[in-house]
Amino acid sequence: MKNLINASQSFRKILCVCPCCGEIVRVSDLHLQFNGKVAKTWLDDYELGLVSLVDNERLFEEKEGMLRQKSIERGRAKVPTLVKQCLCEDFKQLDYDPYDIKAVMDPVDFVVFDGLNEGKEVRRVTFLTRTPSTILQPVIDSLKKTVDNAKYDWKVVRIYTDGKVEFE
């Protein structure tokens, strides 16, 4: 290694005249070129691979948005089937958009906001529950009676990140 450094420093001491412009330059400052065929080295393959990688990354970046959008669409198309597979047999027969079904689990299993996924207007709100246990039956009956008698209210509550709660 010491010999290589000494040789490099010696090249700074050797001066030559440029054949193109006639300027005096150091040999260490020359950018030598060879016009013949040079044997390929592992570094040449590596540099070629880097160029190819950069090109592939650029192409991917150009197509990434489109690929993501297509992937999202494919995933959303599968959701209704997956949700219907998770629902109990009785609920599968109902003609609801699976995106409109929201799990509550107590005292009813699900609430259906019919039309919510279409983004237009919710046409109807439906409570879905499996056959309730004898313990929950009075609660379900009470909930049905409350809805039938229109004894419900609508409130908006805003809960802020600092813990502040505000009722409208």
Q: Which domain holds residue 115?
A: 95-148
User: 63 pLDDT band (50/70/90 cuts)?
Assistant: very high
- Tallying the residues shown for the chain, one arrives at 168
The verdict on residue 28 lying in a domain is: no
Q: 6-10, 92-96, 116-120: which range is least confident on average?
A: 92-96
Kindly state the tokens that stand for 147. Answer: 């809805």
Output the pTM of the full model.
0.47
132 and 105 within one domain: yes
Mean pLDDT, residues 54-77 taken together: 91
Residues 126, 113: Cα–Cα separation, whole Å: 7
Give the type of residue at 156.
Answer: V
Encode pLDDT of 42-59 as tens digits.
Answer: 988 999 999 999 999 999
CB 140 within 8 A of CB 128: no
Structural domains of the chain, count: 2
